[in-house]
Each structure stands twice: as structure tokens, then as C-alpha cells.
């Protein structure tokens, strides 16, 4: 089946396209700038066409020979997003009808009650659905509320509010009911609706198995994330407009996006029917519950592989994790300290120093600081530095190394350690030995910290001023030790015989 995906550089389109490809469909992506998909691994298997839904002359080539067209774009964040979405949906509908497209699939928002005055965001989503249903092309409109997955704007607001604020003064709408749905269930519906018979042309409510208040979602997020129960104090004067500014301050979600989303929360968003199950049956184990959806979203980094996990995202859980095309504010907070040094020694000499780290060799910087950190860890019930290492020269995946655990080794190249000291978050230390073009080495050191709650952010802020001393000294001294070892061993074939000295 030939599918056109609009919004392939966005949250859902970027997750839908590779799953369509995996099922053997031909995928064409309509984007305004093809370069935004350049580094996305699945894009090489898709056809990428540049065009703009607000420029109808660019659309015929994109719609040519297409059987199913997905409308997954919106203009949220623009000054007049309602007018922009109205124009884009009209052009999309006209182009689909002219090209003989057999099916349109659109993901919209929940339908407010008839006596409500819908927010501009929900009003626009509903208007787009009506335009597509009136196109003359069989259309499915999926109406979803909060989508749970790393990168979803609604989920990112929930994540950051809950993690950063143990006490919250909130608007009264925090008691309104919503029916969240896991992103993998949304994708399952999007794919399943592509093959519906032409007589099915209507809107469907879609939601997960749990109906919760927004306050409930924050408490249950906190429980899954291992945070203490949050104190939530609803107050009357906090209007949606004031709330959106508050969300913009506390979370990295831009105010121009937060405001229309917050304004939408004054409406309850609960599915009124589950007719979609007659056409796309529920999976054998049922739809994904809220707690499981959050758990999947929080496995966004398996574990320290912050920059690489998305590249193998093909399993059923992967849609909840971030992609490189997601906005910069998605995926939760990750703090990184990166150091890089040129080392006048062959990579094998540098690797020997890396693999010998810890235990009697120490950590190559400010021994007192490491000793104090180990003592403090023991004081609060942690493992401290007493575990040492089992072998003075060799390390193995899974073994203890002082207050770290060896998580990954690529012999001669990579050592990744996972912290087991008591921390308000999760931490890793990654040490690499890379060979340069001129025959010497490059040492790359990366410390990664994923904070848990406000205490995690405060912890990183407190220790960050000492990183130049601890991590900077560590990188400098490891490089120096490798160079000294190389000089002591004598010239190496293909390696310069005149030392440069410490780099940096």
C-alpha cells in the first residue's frame, strides 16, 4: 500500500512512518525541508518530497499514486493557528480528492460537550476533522486526549510539572477527568485504519483503559517515577491564561504551545464510545494502562545511551522513547559533562589506563573529593568506595567497581559505568579511547545524569561548580598517564617517537 505521511518530522509522523515501512508499505513523506530527515535512519527507505500544505501548487507530486494519506500536522504555536490549520486542511482535502486517494486518516483532539465553549485548540482540531470528512474521500478521524509518550507536548508538561514541583498550587481544572492513551496504541489505530472499507467514514473516540483526573495523572506519574506523593492545592483564581505562563516558567514547553494546551484542560476529555474496536480490535492483552505507558516513556534512555537509543527503535515499546526529530524540550532532563583531549599515545596505551581505573589506581583526580563522596555514600546507606575491583587490569560487564557497576565494555574502545551510589537520579560515566587520523589518540569522557524530582536538579546544580576540578582533572590525568606509559614502553611502530606532552 502506498502511504503519504504528513508531519513526518513531528511527534507522531516520525513514529508512524518507520512502522508502516516495517509492515511492507511504501511510504512517501511530505515535508517543508527534506534536510530535517537527513539523519533519521528510516528515511533512506522512504521517499521524501518537499512541499507545503499552505502552498497548493506543491502538493500534486506528493499525492500522486497515493492510496492512504495521513494528516498529522498542526500549526499550534503560530499566532493564528486556527486560520493556518483551516487553510492547510482544505488544501490537503482538495489534493487528496484530485489524486484519487482512497483513504484519509487524521488524528485530532477530544470532542467537547455540545454546551461547552471549546478552547481555540480543540475548536481548530474539530474543524480540521470536519473539513477532511467533507472532502469526498473516505476519512477516519481519531479523537484522542492526552497521549502518553516521551515527546508528546501534553506528556512533557505532565512530566516536568510532576518532577520539579513536590508542592503545586493548581487551577480547579486539575480535578477534570481525562482518558490518556499510550502512543503505541495510537499508532496501532493509525495503521489499522488504513485498511478500513470505504463505507467507514466517520470520527472515533480513542482512549486508554484508565479515566483519571489530571491530578491523578500527576500522582500516578510520581509513583511510577519513584517520587514522593505530590501535594496538590487547587485554587479558584488561577485562570488558564495564568496557568499557561506558570507552565512556561516551570517546564521547557514553550508558552506558545503550553497556553492552548492548558486552555483545553478546562474541558473533560473522556471517550464517549469505543466503536473503533469493531474495526481495529483491541490487542490480546488489552490497551496499555496509564502506569505502563508512563513506565515505557521513562525508559527513554536505555539507560546511558541517550544519543543512540532511537536508532534501534523498532520494538513495541520504542514509540514511547524520543526521536532525533522530537523538539529539544522533549525527553526529560539530561545533564551531561563532556571532556575531550588529544593524547600523544597509541589507543592501546590509553585503553590500558581506562580499563585499570578505580580500586588501587584511583580515579585520577582530587582523591580527597572521591574519598569524601564515598564516605558520604556509606553514611546514607550506600556502597561507598570499599568494593574496589576484583582484578587490577581487567574489567568485565556486570562487576562492581568502587561505587560503580560495569555496564558495557567494548575492548580497546569503550567503558561505561553505571553509578550505584545513593543519588536523586541515575548517573553514568563513559570513557572512550578513539584513534585519530595522525596515529595518536583522542580521549572522550562523558558523565550523564538523569535527575529524579526537584532534588535531582538541585543536586546537579550543587555539584556542577566542582566538575572542572573533578572531571576536568580526571581527563587531564588519564591522558597524562597514558602518555607516560607510552614513553616508558618505548617507540611503537607507526607512532611518533617525540612526545607532545599533555594536551589541552
- pLDDT tens sequence across 67-123: 999 999 988 767 788 999 999 999 999 999 999 999 999 999 888 766 566 778 888
Neighbour tally for 108: CB within 10 Å: 21
CA gyration radius, the chain: 26
Q: The domain at 2-320 falls in which architecture?
A: 3-Layer(aba) Sandwich (3.40)
Question: SS3 breakdown of the chain: % helix, strand, coil, rounded to 5?
Answer: 40, 20, 40
The DSSP call for residue 472 is: H
Complete DSSP assignment for 308-355: TGGGG--STTGGGS--TTS-TT-S---EEEEEEEEESS-HHHHHHHHH
Joined together, the cell numbers standing for residue 169 give: 498550587
Which pLDDT value is given to residue 455? Answer: 86
Residue length of the chain = 504
Would you state the torsion angle of the CA atoms of residues 347, 353, 356, 362, taken in this order, to the nearest 10 degrees? -160
Within the chain, all domains assigned CATH 3.30.530.20 are found at 335-489
Q: Is the entire prediction scored with pTM above 0.85?
A: no
Lowest-pLDDT range, 116-125, 179-188, 421-430? 116-125
Which pLDDT value is given to residue 491? Answer: 65
487: nearest Cα among 478, 497, 479: 497
Nearest-angstrom CA–CA distance, 323 and 334 = 15
Nearest-angstrom CA–CA distance, 328 and 32 = 19
**For residue 187, pLDDT beyond 70:** yes
Nearest-angstrom CA–CA distance, 272 and 264 = 18
Cα–chain center distance at 113: 33
**For residue 66, pLDDT beyond 70:** yes
Indicate the pLDDT class of residue 380, thresholds 50, 70 and 90: low
Complete DSSP assignment for 118-136: --HHHHHHHHHHHHHHTTS
pLDDT in tens, 17-46: 999 999 999 999 999 888 888 778 888 899
Cβ burial of 240 (10 Å; 0-12, 13-18, 19+) is middle
Query: Which residue spans within 364-424 are E strands per DSSP?
Result: 400-401, 404-410, 414-419
**For residue 254, pLDDT beyond 60:** yes
Residue found under cell 485504519: 193
Which pLDDT value is given to residue 193? Answer: 96
Nearest-angstrom CA–CA distance, 310 and 42 = 11
Instruction: Report, as an integer, the average pLDDT of 197-222.
Output: 94
Residue found under cell 488558564: 240
Which pLDDT value is given to residue 55? Answer: 94
**Higher-confidence residue: 296 or 139?**
139
Which pLDDT value is given to residue 492? Answer: 56
Which pLDDT value is given to residue 387? Answer: 64
Indicate the pLDDT class of residue 414, thresholds 50, 70 and 90: very high
**For residue 438, pLDDT beyond 70:** yes
Joined together, the cell numbers standing for residue 121 give: 485548540
Nearest-angstrom CA–CA distance, 98 and 92 = 10
**For residue 240, pLDDT beyond 90:** no
Mean pLDDT of the chain: 83
111: nearest Cα among 244, 204, 174: 204
The CATH number that domain 335-489 falls under is 3.30.530.20
Which pLDDT value is given to residue 245? Answer: 62
pLDDT in tens, 307-339: 323 333 334 344 555 555 565 555 667 888 999
**For residue 11, pLDDT beyond 90:** no
Instruction: Report, as an integer, the average pLDDT of 231-235.
Output: 80
Q: Tell me the CB-side half-sphere exposure of residue 495, using CA atoms within 13 A.
A: 21
Nearest-angstrom CA–CA distance, 1 and 20 = 9
Q: Which residues contact 371 (CB under 8 A, 6 or more apart)?
A: 385
Would you state the torsion angle of the CA atoms of residues 144, 148, 151, 152, taken in this order, to the nearest 10 degrees? 30
pLDDT in tens, 342-356: 999 999 999 999 999
Lowest-pLDDT range, 58-62, 102-106, 121-125, 131-135? 121-125
Which pLDDT value is given to residue 86? Answer: 95
Amino acid at each position: 500500500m502506498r502511504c503519504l505521511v504528513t508531519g513526518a518530522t513531528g511527534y507522531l509522523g516520525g513514529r508512524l512512518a518507520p512502522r508502516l515501512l516495517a509492515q511492507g508499505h511504501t511510504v512517501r513523506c511530505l515535508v517543508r525541508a527534506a534536510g530535517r530527515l537527513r539523519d533519521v535512519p528510516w528515511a533512506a527507505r522512504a521517499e521524501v518530497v518537499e512541499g507545503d500544505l499552505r502552498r497548493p501548487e506543491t502538493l500534486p507530486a506528493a499525492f500522486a499514486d497515493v492510496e492512504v494519506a495521513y494528516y498529522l500536522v498542526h500549526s499550534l504555536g503560530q499566532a493564528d493557528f486556527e486560520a493556518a490549520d483551516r487553510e492547510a486542511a482544505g488544501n490537503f482535502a482538495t489534493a487528496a480528492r484530485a489524486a484519487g486517494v482512497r483513504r484519509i486518516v487524521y488524528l485530532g483532539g477530544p470532542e467537547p460537550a455540545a454546551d461547552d465553549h471549546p478552547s481555540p485548540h480543540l475548536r481548530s482540531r474539530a474543524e480540521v476533522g470536519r473539513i477532511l470528512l467533507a472532502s469526498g474521500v473516505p476519512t477516519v478521524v481519531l479523537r484522542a486526549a492526552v497521549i502518553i509518550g516521551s515527546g508528546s507536548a501534553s506528556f512533557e508538561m505532565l512530566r516536568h510539572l510532576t518532577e520539579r514541583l513536590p508542592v503545586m498550587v493548581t487551577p480547579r481544572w486539575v480535578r477534570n477527568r481525562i482518558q490518556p492513551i499510550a502512543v503505541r496504541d495510537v499508532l496501532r489505530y493509525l495503521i489499522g485504519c488504513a485498511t478500513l472499507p470505504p463505507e467507514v467514514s466517520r470520527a472515533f473516540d480513542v482512549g486508554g483503559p484508565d479515566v483519571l483526573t489530571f491530578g491523578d495523572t500527576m500522582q500516578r506519574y510520581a509513583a511510577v517515577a519513584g517520587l514522593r506523593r505530590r501535594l496538590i492545592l487547587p485554587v479558584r483564581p488561577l485562570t488558564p491564561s495564568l496557568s499557561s505562563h506558570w507552565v512556561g516558567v516551570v517546564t521547557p514547553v514553550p508558552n506558545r504551545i503550553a497556553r492552548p494546551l492548558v486552555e483545553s484542560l478546562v474541558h473533560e476529555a473522556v471517550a464517549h464510545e469505543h466503536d473503533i474496536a469493531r474495526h481495529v480490535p483491541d490487542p490480546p492483552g488489552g490497551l496499555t494502562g496509564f502506569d505502563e505507558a508512563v513506565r515505557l516513556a521513562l525508559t527513554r534512555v536505555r539507560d546511558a545511551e541517550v544519543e543512540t537509543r532511537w536508532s534501534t527503535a523498532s520494538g513495541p515499546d520504542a514509540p514511547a522513547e524520543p526521536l532525533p526529530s522530537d523538539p529539544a524540550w522533549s525527553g526529560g532532563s539530561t545533564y551531561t559533562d563532556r571532556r575531550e583531549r588529544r593524547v600523544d599515545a597509541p589507543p592501546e596505551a590509553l585503553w590500558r589506563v581506562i580499563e585499570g581505573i578505580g580500586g588501587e589506581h584511583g580515579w585520577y583526580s582530587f582523591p580527597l573529593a572521591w574519598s569524601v563522596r564515598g564516605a558520604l555514600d556509606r553514611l546514607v546507606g550506600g556502597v561507598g568506595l570499599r568494593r574496589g575491583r576484583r582484578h587490577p587490569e581487567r574489567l568485565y560487564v556486570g562487576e562492581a567497581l568502587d561505587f560503580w557497576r560495569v555496564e558495557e565494555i567494548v575492548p580497546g574502545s569503550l567503558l561505561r559505568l553505571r553509578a550505584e551510589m545513593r543519588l536523586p537520579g541515575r548517573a553514568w560515566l563513559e570513557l572512550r579511547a578513539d584513534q585519530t587520523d595522525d596515529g595518536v589518540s583522542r580521549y572522550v569522557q562523558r558523565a550523564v545524569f538523569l535527575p529524579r524530582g526537584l532534588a535531582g536538579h538541585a543536586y546537579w546544580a550543587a555539584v556542577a561548580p566542582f566538575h572542572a576540578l573533578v572531571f576536568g582533572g580526571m581527563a587531564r590525568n588519564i591522558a597524562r598517564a597514558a602518555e607516560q606509559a607510552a614513553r616508558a614502553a618505548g617507540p611503537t611502530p607507526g607512532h611518533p617517537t617525540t612526545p607532545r606532552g599533555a594536551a589541552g
